[in-house]
Structure 1
Amino acid sequence: MKWQSALAIYTLFWAMSVFFVLPFGVRTSEEAGAPLVPGQAPSAPHAFDPKRIVVRTTVLSAVLFAAFYLNYVNGWVTAEMLDWTR
């Protein structure tokens, strides 16, 4: 696999992982015990920490990419194994 292909696949895993990581650890202002700002939705997060999300996303995408790459190298699951029309 070329490094450009590996980078593109890792980027796809990273973008997909963001959506898995975003909902975890979110606390509303009510849960944090803080008053709502006028006009703020009650379901809005109290504090947004992008560094924490980037780190969690990077770790998750690295694990997913490692599993993908190990499968690519070792051939554990191939396209022929997934073809149920035969």
Structure 2
Amino acid sequence: MSLTFAISTYLVIWWIVLFAMLPIGVRTQAEEGEVTPGTAESAPHRPRLLPKMLATTVVASLVFAAVYVIIVHRVITLDQIPFLPRYETVH
């Protein structure tokens, strides 16, 4: 696995995990009873982005470690995935 491929894979995993973690534990302004004028009632009251970004980094690192082991040690190869088409090499 090249360094460029590893970095790009990690960044994609990080963003996916971030978007999965953003709604966890968020309460809206309407639920808190403190709606700031000029904002929607459904806007988050306290989004707590820094702790979520730190948790995202930890989770994304674990997921990337698993993906790295699978790719480098060939735990699963493309030939083992049944729905991928099979191509013959041309000589």
Partner of 1:37: 36
Partner of 1:19: 19
Alignment of 1:2-81 (within 5 A): 2-32=2-32, 34-81=33-80
Taking only the aligned residue pairs, the percentage that are identical comes to 34
C-alpha RMSD over aligned residues: 1.8
CA displacement at 1:65 relative to structure 2: 0.3
TM value normalised by structure 2: 0.78
Q: Which runs of 5+ in 1 are unaligned?
A: none
In the comparison of the two structures, how many residue pairs are matched? 85
Q: Which runs of 5+ in 2 are unaligned?
A: 87-91
TM value normalised by structure 1: 0.81
Which of the pair has more CA radius of gyration? 2
In structure 2, C-alpha distance between the alignment counterparts of 1:50 and 1:35, rounded to whole Å: 19
In structure 2, C-alpha distance between the alignment counterparts of 1:35 and 1:16, rounded to whole Å: 30
Partner of 2:89: none
